[in-house]
Amino acid sequence: MEDRHALLQKINEISFVFNDLTLYLDTHPMDSIAKSDFQQAASKRKELMQKYAKEFGPLTLDCSCEYHSWAEGPTPWEGGHI
């Protein structure tokens, strides 16, 4: 099992790349290299989010909630997932 903080750091880093490429593609929609990089970043982010959800519980509502039920507590506002 990977350290929670190290995994969160990886998620933050790939999320930055993902968001930056999203903004770039808004103004450069025909850039095929950026599109490829975007797809790779999206795939990696999804993989990391699923890994986090499986080990520690979901960070967002749309990430693989098959691994966790909010009823299993503690909830995020009780310090359960961060």
- Kindly report, residue by residue over 24-75, the tens digit of the pLDDT: 999 999 999 999 999 999 999 999 998 988 888 788 877 655 655 656 666 6
Between the CA of residue 16 and those of 11, 45, 49, 80, what are the distances in Å? Answer: 9, 10, 14, 24
Global confidence as pTM: 0.76
Token pair for residue 31?
């850039």
Token pair for residue 7?
């995994």
Q: For residue 21, is pLDDT > 60?
A: yes
9-27 average pLDDT score: 97
Report how many domains make up the chain: 1
Q: DSSP of 30-60, one letter per residue?
A: T-HHHHHHHHHHHHHHHHHHHHHHHHH--SS
* pLDDT value of residue 68: 58
Residue 46 domain boundaries: 4-78
